[in-house]
């Protein structure tokens, strides 16, 4: 029989508990009272949720005590964390501009093309900046600058949400926050950087005066044109020191702070429109917030046109145009800005081939020298040439001619969107008609006529369509294309042209003349779009950058663009055959200038009244477009082409094919055979 525990213990010799010892048993009454007190303490500490003694939805509705307690606990936690982080964050040393690295651009073969990276910055005291300029910046960027705490919590919250969503994060920051970002932080768009910006802005606001902050902001901000700070910007835009700026000029500089690539009025017509609107808004805004009187505002009604941008001497010749095209592509694929690139440290590998760029430049200069005489013929003055050469196989831009010199003529003629394509646009109307079944595909080359210059039909020259579009291309007859556009629907023509590679924004209004080339694609885009006829109806996005690195890490977004179907292979073949017929019918091999490569060209024609001349020649190796037009800096529209090069130049249309031929003699080194010539697609 097993004994009770206390008896077993006694049998081993353990002493029997005595009264008053710790082993003595408590009286039953005292034990019960102790347990009740402990239970009451537990109940007081326990959160009454779900609530006892209630039923239904009331049981699950928290009491006001619970809600207020939770809120106070949350506030205390946030305040504690905020205080801890604020104490922990120290204001770092300001960026050292001398440490900025250059951005280096490389040719396609890997050799160095140019290094861009000198920081154009000249610090000035706030007293040297007119108060009118200070007021313009404050009105545009942070109207309550002198009264705020240095941060905008709503702006930071909005930026954080945009970062999470992958959207644009600019906007909403105070001048103090922007100064902190410019001076102490990177330009990375991350939540971590925005949070750090918040705390640094608070500390800077507590430790520096508003005068010091505004002075620092004006000396570190990016105004475009490679200019950091208001002093450098004043020279870049107006050629004067900052202290000589008037309120109107100051308002324009303040407008560029929103993004110089979009608000520098000299870069494009769209930029000019945006800049003028924001300039006017900033002047009105100063009146609205009490920083300018209505009478003072009334003095400034004329937009202060800045001087043309000036490239650094390292970007003379064609280099500046190449850098311009590379930067546009780079920004479109990576999200980097001009300010990011100006910060330096990037290694940009391009598709540009040095030999082809040099050959294209020499071809343009030779034709200009031989055929134009500005001193004798007024029509030869203000003539501009743009050209681009694209590789059909993958869309690589291998050469461009943007103008005589990027330093003297900033506008890039190879990538401008303001020169009407004229008859060079007609193949896309032709293709759209074929795609929609509006053209007969059965008529053969033999049925098109008996011109001895036309090659006999072969596997490479399939039947071409009828309904007059073939003969209209040869004769530069506009009417059939206008009628085809009406029957087909101009929207379908536009969609096919855009699918082939022309930009949506370069398309003209959908009016009857749309079908005869009122749209204004760039030379780069037109050369690329013509590769669609070489590539069996597949289009490839033109590209100029193959790889970008910073600090040894590759920047994402530079995978090679993939080909996409723009039209059927049959349509591409038929239009290609028609283009070959045009080249033979209008020029013919006996008119070749060099004897090595015949000048297969189609002229703009007597019925074209566009103020431009084009030539596009596409082979399996290269698709090259050349445009010629006349423009004057103080005249907003193109000048007429009558008289350019004398009476025999046919409105200058004789010159682009000569440039094309001179270039291709060098760019495509192997002699072209008669069979090669039949694969050349040309139209001007």
pLDDT in tens, 98-115: 456 688 999 999 999 998
Q: What is the pLDDT of residue 213?
A: 92
Task: Look at 107 and 61; give whichever has higher pLDDT.
Answer: 107
Tell whether the model's pLDDT for residue 545 goes beyond 70. yes
**pLDDT tens for each residue of 262-301:** 999 998 889 999 999 999 999 999 999 999 999 999 999 9
Q: Write down all domains in the chain, each with its CATH number in brackets.
A: 36-88 (no CATH), 119-310 (1.10.3810.10), 361-683 (3.40.710.10)
The structure's pTM equals 0.72
**pLDDT tens for each residue of 146-200:** 988 888 766 655 655 654 555 444 455 899 888 888 887 655 555 656 667 777 8
Question: How many other CB atoms are found less than 10 A from the CB of residue 495?
Answer: 17
**pLDDT tens for each residue of 647-675:** 777 777 888 988 998 998 898 865 544 44
- What DSSP designation does 635 have? -
For 531-655, where are the E strands, in sequence order?
538-539, 545-550, 553-554, 564-565, 613-618, 623-630
Which H/E stretch holds residue 349? strand 346-350
**pLDDT tens for each residue of 209-224:** 999 999 999 998 989 9
Of 343-347, 441-445, 628-632, highest mean pLDDT:
628-632
Task: Return all residues near 480 (Cβ < 8 A) that are at least 6 apart.
Answer: 467, 468, 469, 472
Task: Out of 51-55, 401-405, 491-495, pick the least confident.
Answer: 51-55
User: How far is CA 430 from its chain centroid?
Assistant: 32
Q: What is the pLDDT of residue 180?
A: 86
Mean pLDDT on 485-513? 95
Q: What is the rounded CA–CA span in Å between residue 468 and residue 461?
A: 18
pLDDT band at 308, cuts 50/70/90? Answer: confident
Q: What is the pLDDT of residue 484?
A: 92
Q: What is the pLDDT of residue 56?
A: 75
Percent of the chain with pLDDT over 90: 45
Q: What is the pLDDT of residue 548?
A: 95
Task: Look at 237 and 600; give whichever has higher pLDDT.
Answer: 237
Task: Return all residues near 20 (Cβ < 8 A) that are at least 6 apart.
Answer: none
Mean pLDDT on 45-49? 62
Average pLDDT of the chain is 80
**pLDDT tens for each residue of 22-44:** 555 555 666 666 666 665 655 55
Mean pLDDT on 376-394? 94
Q: What is the rounded CA–CA span in Å between residue 519 and residue 494?
A: 10
488 in Cβ contact with 433 (< 8 Å): yes
Q: What is the pLDDT of residue 599?
A: 32
Task: Out of 406-410, 421-425, 611-615, pick the least confident.
Answer: 406-410
């Amino acid at each position: 029989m097993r004994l009770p525990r206390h008896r077993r213990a006694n049998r081993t010799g353990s002493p029997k508990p005595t009264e008053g010892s710790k082993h003595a048993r408590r009286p039953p009454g005292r034990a019960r009272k102790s347990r009740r007190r402990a239970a009451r303490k537990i109940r007081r500490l326990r959160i009454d949720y779900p609530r006892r003694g209630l039923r239904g939805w009331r049981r699950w509705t928290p009491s006001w005590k619970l809600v207020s307690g939770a809120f106070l606990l949350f506030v205390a936690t946030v305040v504690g964390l905020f205080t801890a982080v604020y104490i922990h964050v120290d204001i770092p040393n300001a960026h050292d501009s001398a440490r900025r690295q250059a951005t280096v651009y490389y040719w396609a073969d890997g050799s160095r093309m140019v290094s861009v990276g000198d920081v154009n910055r000249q610090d000035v005291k706030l007293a040297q900046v007119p108060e009118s300029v200070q007021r313009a910046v404050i009105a545009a960027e942070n109207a309550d600058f002198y009264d705020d705490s240095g941060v905008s919590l709503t702006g930071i919250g909005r930026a954080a949400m945009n970062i999470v969503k992958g959207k644009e994060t600019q906007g909403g920051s105070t001048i103090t926050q922007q100064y902190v970002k410019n001076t102490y932080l990177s330009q990375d768009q991350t939540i971590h950087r925005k949070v750090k910006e918040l705390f640094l802005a608070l500390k800077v606001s507590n430790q520096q005066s508003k005068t010091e902050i505004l002075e620092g902001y004006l000396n570190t901000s990016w105004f475009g044109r490679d200019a950091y700070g208001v002093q450098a910007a004043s020279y870049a835009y107006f050629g004067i020191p900052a202290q000589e700026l008037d309120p109107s000029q100051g308002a324009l500089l303040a407008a560029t702070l929103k993004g110089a690539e979009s608000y520098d009025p000299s870069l494009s017509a769209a930029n000019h429109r945006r800049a003028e609107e924001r300039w006017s808004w900033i002047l009105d805004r100063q009146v609205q917030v009490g920083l300018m009187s209505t009478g003072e505002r009334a003095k400034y009604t004329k937009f202060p046109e800045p001087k043309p941008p000036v490239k650094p001497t390292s970007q003379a010749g064609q280099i500046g145009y190449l850098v311009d095209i590379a930067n546009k592509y780079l920004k479109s694929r990576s999200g980097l800005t001009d300010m990011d690139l100006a910060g330096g440290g990037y290694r940009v590998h391009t598709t540009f081939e040095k030999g082809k760029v040099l050959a294209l430049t020499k071809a343009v200069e030779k034709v200009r020298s031989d055929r134009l005489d500005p001193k004798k013929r007024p029509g030869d003055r203000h003539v501009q040439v743009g050209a681009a050469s694209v590789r059909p196989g993958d869309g690589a831009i291998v050469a461009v001619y943007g103008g005589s010199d990027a330093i003297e003529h900033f506008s890039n003629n190879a990538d401008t969107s303001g020169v009407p394509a004229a008859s060079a646009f007609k193949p896309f109307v032709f293709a759209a008609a074929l795609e929609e079944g509006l053209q007969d595909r059965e008529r053969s080359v033999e049925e098109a006529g008996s011109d001895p210059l036309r090659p006999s039909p072969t596997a490479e020259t399939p039947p071409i369509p009828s309904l007059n579009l073939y003969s209209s291309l040869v004769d530069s007859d506009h009417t059939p294309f206008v009628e085809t556009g009406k029957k087909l629907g101009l929207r379908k023509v536009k969609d096919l042209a855009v699918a082939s590679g022309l930009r949506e924004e370069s398309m003209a209004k959908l009016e009857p003349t749309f079908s005869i080339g009122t749209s204004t694609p760039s030379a780069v885009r037109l050369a690329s779009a013509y590769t669609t006829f070489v590539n069996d109806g597949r289009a490839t996005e033109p590209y100029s950058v193959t790889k970008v690195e910073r600090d040894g890490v590759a920047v994402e977004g530079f995978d090679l663009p993939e080909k996409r179907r723009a039209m059927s292979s049959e349509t591409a073949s038929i239009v290609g055959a028609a283009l070959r017929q045009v080249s033979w019918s209008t020029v013919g091999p006996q008119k070749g200038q060099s004897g090595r490569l015949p000048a297969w060209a189609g002229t703009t024609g007597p019925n074209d009244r566009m103020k431009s001349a084009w030539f596009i020649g596409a082979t399996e190796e290269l698709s090259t477009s050349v445009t010629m037009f006349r423009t004057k800096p103080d005249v907003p529209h193109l000048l007429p082409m009558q008289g350019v090069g004398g009476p025999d130049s046919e409105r200058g249309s004789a010159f682009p094919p000569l440039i094309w031929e001179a270039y291709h003699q060098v760019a495509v080194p192997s002699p072209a055979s008669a069979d090669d010539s039949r694969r050349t697609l040309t139209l001007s």
